[in-house]
Amino acid sequence: MLEALNRLLEKMMPVITPISVILGILLADHLLPFAYLIPFIFAFMTLSGSLSSNFHSLKGALHKPFPFIVILLLLHVIMPLIAWSIGQVVFENHLTVTGLVLATVIPTGITSFIWVNIYKGSIALALSIILIDTILSPFVVPYTLSILVGKNVEIDPFSIMSGLLLMVVIPSFIGMFIHHLTNGKSVIASKKLAPFSKLALSSVVMINGAVVAPYIKKVNLELLFIIITVFGLASSGYFLAWMFGCLFKKDRETKIAMMFTGGMRNISAGAVIAVQYFPPAVAVPVVIGMLFQQVLASIFGLLFKRFDNELQLYDQSYSVSK
């Protein structure tokens, strides 16, 4: 029954996430008292997902380092620079620029593994990117923020680092350690906890929506520009990762893993960081990103399925003509 519920929730994630944001905004007064629970709920989500992972997955990036390096550069250098550049041109509010950079610099989304699995991509590569990027995130995220926006916003790198360690890295290692001790039997527990993890994600999204409700309820031209900008940035992450896979002539499985890990973000972790360590205005672009992420994953999955064969034929004809 739990597995059937999990499959149903997986199919509904593109709908559940934006609905959760809307409910959080509408029920803000009732949900705000529960904001202190967010880090604990998120740690549970990370732990339950990590029970199906093992330390051997970390070796995957060593066998095929190039795709991993490309995605790491896209996640933490290229996309944050694009977000910062657009923010400087479009927005005068430094907090909005900080939110855009934060939305792009946070580590790849753990749920990208689900989409890679659905479209039969390289699971080993996806796990390697997710695990190593998660481990690096406490160091990469705060210092990238300090470099790009630190002059305009007060940033405490050590607080952000400790938050990511407690919410993401330590639960991940605990989950993998349990997997090791049980010789992989913890996968069963992970499957049973999966639907509860998705419901927990919905709860986190709702509470984060409640925190930024006063800013999102004020529908104005600036909010419209933020929505358009976040949608464009989120879309470009998927697109660039896909195109890098094509540019470097990677196989279909590798391109799928690159596209989803390069496009998705651990956006709920980003929202928690924004809410915990920054003024509420910083969280607005991050929370808006929740509206698009799962929907864009499904759209780009369908686009990939439709156009990848045509791109492969083009690459082959180009190689022959050359």
Domain map of the chain by residue range?
Answer: 37-321
DSSP code for 117: H
To the nearest 10 degrees (0 to 180), the angle between helices 79-90 and 221-247 is 150
pLDDT at 258: 94
pLDDT at 107: 86
pLDDT at 309: 67
DSSP code for 182: T
- Taking only the tens place, the pLDDT of each residue in 263-307 is 988 877 787 788 778 888 888 898 888 777 777 887 898 889 888
d(CA 34, CA 204): 10
- Taking only the tens place, the pLDDT of each residue in 190-223 is 788 888 888 887 887 788 778 777 777 777 888 8
Kindly report the average pLDDT of the chain as a whole number. Answer: 82
Give the angle subtended at the CA of 18 by the CAs of 13 and 22, to the nearest 5°.
140
pTM of the shown model:
0.75
Cβ burial, residue 280 (10 Å; 0-12/13-18/19+) = middle
Kindly give the parts of the chain with pLDDT less than 50. none
Tokens of 284: 């607005």
The domain made up of 37-321 is a member of CATH 3.30.1490.20:
no
pLDDT at 255: 92
